[in-house]
Structure 1
Amino acid sequence: MSVARRVSFALVAAAVVGGAAAAAFGVGGGSADPGERPSAAQTTTVTRRTLVDQTKVPAKVAYGNAAPVVSQAAGTVTWLPAPGTVVSRGQPLLRADDQPVVLLYGALPMYRQLTAGAKGEDVKQFAQNLKALGYSGFPVGTEYTEATATAVKRWQKALKRTETGSVEVADVIYAETELRVAAQSVRVGAKAAGAVLTATGTGRVVMADVPRPDERLAKPRNAVTVILPDGKELAGEVSTVGTGAEPSTVEGQQPPQNQGGGETIPIVVTVKDQGALPADPDARVTVKYVAETRADVLTVPVQALLALGDGGFGLELRDGGTRRVVPVRTGLFADGQVEVTGDGIAEGVTVGVAA
């Protein structure tokens, strides 16, 4: 239950029974003869249970937000991978003038020509990729040597490129991991320079739009539970939190519905057990966040609370034909119940409930 709901429960309780409390105690408190006090129309008993303060929002399994894949190649696009294709290290992301532009892994972009004598972290990043592709006989460091150039010629031969021993800016596109093509941004025959594709990672995530009243869920590293359509629960963690009111969008998919309307906060939840996520790309799930749990506490329905004149709350205790109002301390509000403690409050005690 959200903070707003907890407050509203208190306000509803005060509104429903406030008149009876005021008649009994007056605005400033005091006492009144029990026989003159309006009686609650129904009764219930104090129960012992575990209260869970939680928030649930609808969500969707997806591959995450798609990002543009930008080519620096000149010429014309002659081939693009189809949406849904997974492209790994060393494989082409496009062909420009029928030459492959391949994916390599790394955080640095390809910003200059690499040739013998070049030095820098970008050289090391490229050399690490070349080694990972199975090539050897060169130092994996920050210097592009003649041995590196020789290995590059072997790589270029395998790609059916001209064997120059140098790597041009247009030859490579870097990403931090393998990519899944979300959509083609241009058609074959378009200019090759610019955004040619959109792509995501290959790991699936859970995306949700959290209503503002439940924004306590939308905190990075919050531990959450993902409830699958069959009721199975998976552990997850909030990895990304958006800032705007716009709903989260996934290429080619509709965002999860915000049943309450109004402003929302988009979040992304990561799930380690990828194999347990539904295979259906349109699967709807639920994200549950537990803010607080109170085990083995005494509770009553929120409607049993009486708003006292001093601003606190009380309960009307019933014992045979007698009744009396006692002040109580409230704790956690959840699922229409409220934690209560106070003199005379024990499991099984009968209390009045406002009609």
Structure 2
Amino acid sequence: MLVAVVLAVAATVGVVLFTRVATRPEPAARPTAPPPATAKVVRTDLVDRVEVDGTPGYGAATPLSGRKQGTLTWLPEPGKVVDRGQPLYAVDAVAVPLLIGSTPLYREIRADVPAGPDVRVLQENLVALGYAEAGPPDGKFDAGTGRALRKWQKAAGLPQSGVLAQGDALVLPAAVRVDRVTAQLGAAAEGELMEVTGTERLVTAELEKSRRDYAPAGAAVEVRLPDRRTAAGTVRSVATASAEEGETKLVVTVAFADPAAAPESGQVVVVLTGARRDQVLAVPVRALVALAEGGYAVEVLRDGGRSLVPVEPGMFASGLVEVTGPGLVEGAEVVVAS
């Protein structure tokens, strides 16, 4: 009887042990490492670009001063465009018109005045206004110049004296747009009267002084418009301006290749181009590996394995970097840091 009990117990233990062995969970499989992110070595053109916010307008305003004695009796409204022969302001109820040229009036012009560049400017304007007898513009005040001057003075409502004094007209390089009037009616006409700009719509943008080489005068640029279109432009000028906290900035003025593309308002982006490297090998910047001993390398996938290839970085642009290294070829696959 005891033997039977022992056998029964032994049998029971054996079943329990078997059951535990049979139900023991299998060891978890080790997770497989995901394949590395990679990119191809490409041969491409790298162009270093800088993007800056720009504001449409008419460029920087410059002050305009009067030289005629008397009282201001008429001033233009801001935004008015004044072209050749049109009045800029009035003194003692007599208009002071705009003449276009490169030499200001520096003396009284009359029949007995010696030849000079100021006379040539007057003749050029008279011819442009339709008084051909003033030409050809040679800087000599002859009888034809005198007749043309008196006819123009009559048509413009000016005293028909045949004489043009220094303050009777104002010579500027081109037509202007009145940006801001600084004088008041009834004030003395000599001194600053207003601020004017050109008539062409432009874009102005601020640029860090360290990036001066990105904006040489005459450089081609791209302007991204508020409606996401792009327009071609040219750097017209670069000036220095003081910014906050005493820093010095550059103010870049950009002209549109097609004036009709200029927006009336809104913010634009000016894309300036710097250095350029054509047809070089390049990889994503994230493919560069800093070596403990100094320098850089890229990790190349080759024949199922990986190997570090030392490289010399060159130009950085658009998330890519130019690289040169032994055995590095276009199409090679490199590891990119994720």
| Same fold? TM cut 0.5 | yes
Change (3 A) 1:346 1:180: same
Alpha-carbon distance in 1 for matches of 2:304, 2:144: 99
Per-residue deviation at 1:307? Answer: 2.4
Indicate the residue corresponding to 2:80 in structure 1: 85
* 2:41–2:334 Cα contact (<8 Å) kept: no
Alpha-carbon distance between aligned partners in 2 of 1:321 and 1:123, rounded to the nearest angstrom: 85
Report the AA paired with residue 322 of structure 1. G
Q: 2:124 corresponds to which residue? A: 128
Match of 2:160 in 1: 163
Q: How does 1:225-304 map to 2 (within 5 A)?
A: 225-246=222-243, 263-278=248-263, 280=264, 282-294=265-277, 297-304=280-287
Whether 1:97 aligns to 2:92 is yes
Tell me, yes or no, if the aligned pair for 1:43 and 1:350 is still in contact at 8 Å. Answer: no
- Higher RCO structure (Cα 8 Å, ≥6 apart): 1
Does residue 1:180 correspond to 2:174, yes or no?
no
Q: 184, 187, 199: which one pairs with 1:190?
A: 187
Q: What SS does structure 2 have at the residue aligned with 1:107?
A: coil
Question: Equivalent residue for 1:335?
Answer: 318
Alignment correspondent of 1:64: 59
Match of 2:138 in 1: 141
Q: Matches of 1:196 and 1:275 in 2, distance apart?
A: 31
Instruction: Please report how far the alpha carbon of residue 295 of structure 1 lies from its aligned counterpart in structure 2 after TM superposition.
Output: 5.7
Confirm or deny: 8 A CA contact 1:246 1:266 kept in the other structure.
no
Q: In 2, are the aligned partners of 1:210 and 1:217 still within 8 Å (CA)?
A: no
- Normalized against structure 2, the TM-score is what? 0.80
1:116 alignment partner in structure 2 = 111
Query: Structure 1 pair 158/351, CA: closer, same or farther in 2 (3 Å)?
Result: closer
- Residue pair 2:316, 2:322 contacting (<8 A) in 1 also: yes
Distance 1:75 1:270, change over 3 A: same
Between stretches 186-195 and 131-140, larger displacement belongs to 131-140
Which one has a bigger Cα radius of gyration?
2
> Do 2:39 and 2:284's aligned partners in 1 also have CA atoms closer than 8 Å?
no
1:268 Cα deviation from its structure 2 partner: 1.2
CA shift, 1:301, in A, is 2.6
Mapped to 2, the partners of 1:79 and 1:287 lie a distance apart of 40
Give, in angstroms, the shift of residue 330 of structure 1: 2.6
| Letter of the structure 1 residue corresponding to residue 101 of structure 2 | G
- Matched residue type, 1:123: V
Deviates further, 69-78 or 229-238: 229-238
Which residue identity is paired with 1:330? Answer: P
Please give the alpha-carbon distance, in whole angstroms, between the structure 2 residues aligned to 1:44 and 1:112: 76
Change (3 A) 1:136 1:291: closer
- Distance verdict in 2 for CA 1:316–1:142, change over 3 Å: closer
Q: What corresponds to 1:33 in structure 2?
A: none
Q: TM-score, normalized by length of structure 1?
A: 0.76
Q: Could you tell me the percent identity over the aligned residues? A: 38
Q: Give yes or no for contact 2:225–2:268 (8 Å, CA) kept in 1.
A: yes
Given that residues 117 and 143 in structure 1 are in contact (C-alpha distance below 8 angstroms), is that contact kept between their aligned partners in structure 2? no
Kindly indicate whether residue 201 of structure 2 is the aligned counterpart of residue 216 of structure 1: no
Aligned residue identity for 1:285: V
Deviation for aligned residue 1:230: 2.4
Higher mean alpha-carbon deviation, 207-216 vs 47-56, is at 47-56
Alignment CA distance shift 1:107-1:305 (3 Å):
same
3-state SS in 2 of match to 1:220: coil
Q: Aligned residues, how many? A: 302
1:242-284 deviation per Cα after TM superposition (whole angstroms, max 9, x unaligned): 234438xxxxxxxxxxxxx965311112222111111x2x332
Per the alignment, in what secondary structure is the counterpart of residue 171 of structure 1? coil
Report if the CA contact (8 A) 2:285-2:320 is conserved.
yes
CA distances 1:164-185 after superposition (whole Å, capped 9, x unpaired): 2211222100011111111111
Q: Which amino acid aligns with 1:54?
A: R
Query: Which shifted more, 337-346 or 61-70?
Result: 337-346
Shift in CA distance, 45/161, structure 1 to aligned 2, threshold 3 Å: closer
What's the counterpart of residue 258 of structure 1?
none
Structure 2 alignment gaps of length 5 or more: 1-32
In 2: Cα distance, 1:157 partner to 1:301 partner? 73
Please name the residue that 2:50 is paired with: 55
